[in-house]
Amino acid sequence: MEKIKFAVVGSGHIGKRHAEMVVGNPEAELIALVDIKNKEELGIEKYDVPFFSSMDELLDANLDIDVINICTPNGLHEEQSIKALEKGYHIVCEKPMALNKAGAEHVIFKALQVHKHVFAVMQNRYSPPSVWLKEIVDDCVLSLNNKLKQKSIKIDIDIDEQLRIDSEPGPFAQVISNFVMNSVIHGFEGLNTGVILIHASLTDSELIIDYTDDGKGMISENVKKVYEPFFTTKMGSGGSGLGMHVVYNIITQRFKGQINCKSTLGEGVSYNIIIPISAL
């Protein structure tokens, strides 16, 4: 029987598990790996297959591939799935398939147009629930890279590589995404540069996350309203007023934690989050 040939795009923790699943299946063959980091940094030297630094390089190589596994940051899934489908490959995509319903429909309709299959898989089918917090934050920042480059915003991530949490990564990624986008849209409005610091630490009983930016800051009245639904200083200009409300609900409802905002006009903003380990 002819083997099914796979390429894995995104060779971090999850991508490596996809590669292991392929290599361990006698009816499958690993053809290539893709990641922006080098093989040594990723620890994937044992895979003796072509390695590419971008998906475009992989597609341009025209290798004999049946299926492409998309294991990159969430914000890249839709774009990369469309590219692979347009080149005539089946897709295995880590959840979510896209960041919204319209994006998911885009992928599905494209698959129907080109007569290819799309399989959306859940991360915990391949891995235990323990996740590396720094990788969640790194992936989230990478998916927002284009927006950050527009304003030359630097993000310093101060999180131990070995800090693991027993929880779904999705809610944490949503919190960080909303923080960063809030800084881009509001904090750095009218500014060409900026710095964001994301710090996290773990005690015996709590996960502590601190997020700060050196942007424009807020008046005290706005600080009091920052978590209210539909509160925004950009209503009618693209702001929904729901981003920080979603963050508040994730922290206080999903994780039974606390979130505190401090800001002074002209001096940036800081958020301190405390989550009990028992709620993760």
Q: Are residues 118 and 138 in the same domain?
A: no
Apex CA 273: angle with CA 272 and CA 276, to 5°?
145
| Domain end (from 125, 150, 180) | 125
Q: What is the DSSP letter of 254?
A: I
- CB contact set of 245 (below 8 Å; sequence gap of 6+): 227, 228, 229, 230, 231
Containing structural domain, residue 244: 130-279
Q: Are residues 27 and 100 in the same domain?
A: yes
Contact 31, 6 (CB under 8 A): yes
Give the mean model confidence (pLDDT) for residues 81-101. 92
First to last CA, the chain: 45
Q: Are residues 121 and 168 in the same domain?
A: no
Q: Are residues 13 and 66 in the same domain?
A: yes
Query: CA 98, CA 94: separation in Å to the nearest integer?
Result: 10
Q: Are residues 237 and 158 in the same domain?
A: yes
Total structural domains in the chain? 2
206-213 vs 194-202, strand pairing mode: antiparallel
| Domain end (from 125, 158, 192) | 125
pLDDT tens digits for range 17-60: 899 889 988 899 999 999 999 888 888 999 999 999 999 999 99
Is 18 exposed, middle or buried (CB count within 10 Å of its CB: 0-12, 13-18, 19+)?
Answer: buried
| Domain end (from 103, 125, 147) | 125
Q: Are residues 161 and 42 in the same domain?
A: no
* Predicted TM-score of the model (pTM): 0.55
Q: Are residues 162 and 248 in the same domain?
A: yes
**What CATH number has the domain bearing residue 111?**
3.40.50.720
Q: Please say if the pLDDT value at position 230 is more than 90.
A: no
